Chains A and B, each alone.
Chain A
Amino acid sequence: MSSQNLFKFESQKVAKPYFVFALMLFVGQILFGLIMGLQYIIGDFLFPLLPFNVARMVHTNLLIVWLLFGFMGAAYYLIPEEADRELHSPKLAIVLFWVFAAAGVLTILGYLFVPYAKLAELTGNNLLATMGREFLEQPLPTKVGIVVVALAFLYNIGMTVLKGRKTAVNVVLMTGLIGLALLFLFAFYNPENLSRDKFYWWYVVHLWVEGVWELIMASILAYVLIKITGVDREVIEKWLYVIVALALISGILGTGHHYFWIGAPGVWLWVGSIFSTLEPLPFFVMVLFAFNMINRRRREHPNKAAAMWAMGTAVMAFLGAGVWGFLHTLAPVNYYTHGAQITAAHGHMAFYGAYAMIVMCIISYAMPKLRGIGEAPSNKAQVMELWGFWLMTISMVFITLFLTGAGVVEVWLRRLPESGAAMSFMDTQAQLMIFYWLRLIAGVGFLVGLICYLWSFKKSLQVAKDDRPAPLPAESV
């Protein structure tokens, strides 16, 4: 099959470097995660060469950046097709790729090789202090770079949509991406009052992951389901609107579950508890959506792996974001669990299920086409990809279970007893070592899964070469 037939518009090809680079950063994220997993057990591992705080910053920032690369790749791939026209400027997309990749690499190198206080001083943090807040550790030039890249990216895909066909998929995706960019502007607002600082910090963090990112996730999922099931677009887009309506109706006031203990008023105890109880709903509907559409499919798409990622991301997002989120979201429960390992358990499964898996879903669907292999990779390559899927997913389930176990014991020892009877932080940690060992083993399992997953790309290429049909006589002349 020639590559011209595989996708409708030549400009969709700009998605490829975004996907490739996203997966490279993903590998880095997992390696730093394993280092931290060991530091949780052997406290002075790699100290002072790589202190825990630096490893954590690299781990979380790599996650955010690779997901952003994945979202941008997804947008560049699906927007032209949905808008039914070439991308406004493929050149701009390639330039932005290099700008963002360079900024990302420089930032990580800065974290690793320059002491953080020195990095802050060198990059103008004394002019406008934005650094040193969780997930927003990036130096000022990086933050400005993110805004510039985001604006140019939005211009590029926005012009494409404006001049082309507007579908629910591309309109919801655009809304999500515009929201992402606008909310990031709060990263530049760092009030002197800590409570106010935290209040607006969540405008970036919560309204991203429990707000506009859900729009991005749902629209990518809808796109992939339209493609692989052949179900009528009207039906799929109706589900999409229901999901994103539930996401924002529950998620916006659900922000309140972060306002229980930071100095905000007591009304949030009620608002946060009630609305975040509704937050599992959009994810539950996503599960129904993915399974229903695949059961009602009107075509047998050869890419079974992409269908598996579509179902997997819905289920794991529901478990990680929905169920594990609800476990500790009610104010009377959160009073005891806030800021302990249960939060870490929830964070890991939610990010993997909702966002890492949706990016791997669109990669699974789009990459065989972008690489000119065909509608789907060979069966052998898909089997290897599914090994990656199951190993990573099951490992993440175990990481979550072991961290939950650690969190329950931690709450039991340190939080539930009265002052005087409660165990200190460090003594409690010593009691959790068995959980941390098991978590580390599960983390190694995740890495093995990731290697299988990446290996499947190589396998599909090998097979593509081996299985290449003999040239037709007319062509061989």
Chain B
Amino acid sequence: MSATFTKGMARNIYYGGSLFFILVFLALAYHTEKTIPERTNADQLTEAVVRGKHVYETNNCSGCHSLLGEGAYFAPELGNVFYRRGGEDGFKYFLPAWMKAQPTGVPGRRQMPQFNLTDQQLSDLTEFLEWTAKINTNDWPPNIEG
């Protein structure tokens, strides 16, 4: 690098540039905060949904599954599983039955552990995944398979 561009100038760009973009980032974060309630239907964020999120976390579901594309890629996406597995009419029956049937024990196939969730926990998890499926995700995932 040429001698006219000094270390002091590089340092000032580092401090000034970082500070500027931190401020822009915080402004955008403020904007996000303002829009999240509407985009996530926060009025439908019930106690059951909150408990369901807790069930999702304390059983380390994200150790195999992705949720809105984040987590592990070993098992299906769950952000839209509500629509894929029964929707408004069927999902609340599908999920508890599915969870109780695990593991399938099919040789060589990926197995989901039996988590021994209570009926209340299964119901909460169902509510959480239904609420999650209705978040405005800019139309992601591209199709029902997630």
Contacts and interface: CB of A to CB of B under 8 A. Distances in A.
Q: Which 5 A-B pairs have the closest CB atoms?
A: A53-B63, A132-B57, A339-B69, A43-B110, A241-B10
B25 A134 contact: no
Given A120-B57, A252-B21, 5 more contacts: A132-B61, A193-B36, A195-B36, A248-B17, A262-B70
Interface residues of A, number: 83
Contact of A48 (B59, B110, B113): B113
Nearest to B19: A248
A459 B45 CA distance: 61
Given A241-B7, A344-B73, A423 B64 contact: no
Given A199-B32, A264-B32, A54 B138 contact: no
Contacts of A51: 63-64, 111, 113
Interface string A119-150: 01100010001011110010000000000000
A252 to B, nearest CB: 4
12 contacts: A44-B109, A51-B111, A134-B71, A237-B7, A260-B140, A261-B137, A262-B70, A266-B138, A339-B70, A339-B77, A339-B141, A425-B77
Interface residues on chain B, size class: 35 or more
Contact of A195 (B39, B74, B106, B113): B39
B96 interface: no
Interface of A: 39-40, 42-44, 47-48, 51-54, 56-57, 116-117, 120-121, 125, 129, 131-134, 137, 168, 190, 192-199, 234-235, 237-239, 241-242, 244-245, 248-249, 252-253, 255-256, 259-269, 271, 335-336, 338-341, 343-344, 414-420, 422-426, 428-429
Given A56-B72, A266-B138, A425 B146 contact: yes
Nearest to A416: B142
B101 interface: no
Given A194-B40, A255-B25, A261-B138, A43 B59 contact: no
A248 B10 CA distance: 13
Nearest to B60: A116
A28 to B, nearest CB: 17
A132 B62 contact: yes
A253 B73 contact: no
B68 interface: yes
A263 B137 contact: yes
B111 A262 contact: no
